[in-house]
Every structure is written in C-alpha cells, then in structure tokens.
Structure 1
Amino acid sequence: MRRRADFIAANRGLRVARPGFVLLAHPNDGKGMRYGITVTKKVGNAVVRNRMKRRFRELLRAALPEHGLPDHDHVLIGRDRGIERDFAKLAQELDEALARAAEGKGDPPRRRPRKGDGGKPNQARTR
C-alpha cells in the first residue's frame, strides 16, 4: 500500500495492539492481501525508523501468506519498544495478532481526548 487514503481506511478496521507494534486489518473489497508499514518520528531518527521498517517488512513477508486475512489491508504501526524487541518475539507477537484479527477480536477503541483535556484522564480541576 502506498496511498494515504488506504492507510486512513485501514484505521477504521480492526486494531490489535502489541508491545512492539499495532496491527490494523481492514477489508479492501477484493484487492487481495496487501500490507503497509508506518513508523513515526516519535520512535527515533531516520536510521532507527528505517531499520524498524525493514524488520516489519520481513516479518510481514513471512507471516502474511500463511496467517494473513484474505482481501484485507494489513498495516503495522511501529511503537517505541519495537526496535529493541527480539526478532523472534516480534514474529510470535505478529502471529498472535493475526490470529486475533482472523477471529475478529480486536482491542477496544481508544478514547479520544477532549479539547483542552490534554489527553489526560478525567481529573478534578482546581484553580
């Protein structure tokens, strides 16, 4: 996947979070089994992000033919702890995440912060 619209559409799909990454799976109306990878600047510099993307690419190439969902877009979003995790551990977590996605068991939706909330849980405000 290369188009931004495909990544945005995948964000409406099933979400399975793991310590090293977040997997998004979304039906793509018969376009086949596709994948995309995104790693933000929060994770590290360009060297770190590119290394993480190479690791994710290899993980997906190995896992998708066997465990991927047919006619779905699969997106891996890198997390901070993903670069330091063992490759075998990441592969195991990806297999588990794909199994959960195949069962339709995603994680609950995230709570969006309210305006002015700063993303913090509800707290009593004092002046």
Structure 2
Amino acid sequence: MKERQFEPAKTDQKMPLFKSLKAIIKNRNMKILLAIIFIQLTLGGFAASMDYYVLVYYMNDGDVAAGATWKGVLSSAYAITGIITIGILTRLSSKIGKVATMKWVYLITIIGGLCKWFIYQSRQWALANC
C-alpha cells in the first residue's frame, strides 16, 4: 500500500469523542493497525512476565538474586536498544516507507524469537551433556 499525502485541515475542527471513535472503527486500516498493536502488547506482556521465570528458574536454577540481576541487565538492554532504534527506524522509514519499515521490524522480531528458542535449547543441551 502506498502512503498517501494529506493536506492539513484548513480549520481546527473539534470532534466529539464518540464521533471520532466511530470514525476510527469504520476505517479498515486503522482496525488492522489497532489489532496488530493489541496482539503485540498482549504477547509482549506475556513474554515479559515469562522471562523472569526463565531467568530465575531455568537459567539460574532458582537463584532469585541472580535471576533478578539478569532481569535488570535484560531490561536495561531493551531500554537502551529501544532508544537507539528510534533514530534508526525514523531514518529507515523516510527512505523505504513506513509500511516497509514495519515489515522489517516484525521480520527481525520473529527472527529474534526463533533465535531465543535455539539459544535456550542449546544451553539445555550443553547442561545435559556436561
């Protein structure tokens, strides 16, 4: 889908809340975007709650202090990476478009999830064979 350029409104029209919500619900692209955001936030929240469990009980054999330390490292790394990524994605979206940038973001997210699975499996294999 090509991005469309809209001219700014000539007047600043105030629209009642329910009327604007009705307009959003009628827009197909907005429904898709809201569905993607909802799914990502829901699954992201689930994954964020599971990573503490994995860090404490799976990676550190129930050592809460070590798991909490690694959770702090992981959360800090996510925050720093997110801040750095904002500039990169802004530049990328101006070069290849917003839709193409979102496709790349989701592709990289999927690849990262698969890599995590293989990393956990290789650690389990290494522990079993040591």
TM-score normalised over the length of structure 1: 0.27
Q: Which has the larger radius of gyration?
A: 2
Q: Which structure has the highest helix share of the two? A: 2
TM-score normalised over the length of structure 2: 0.27
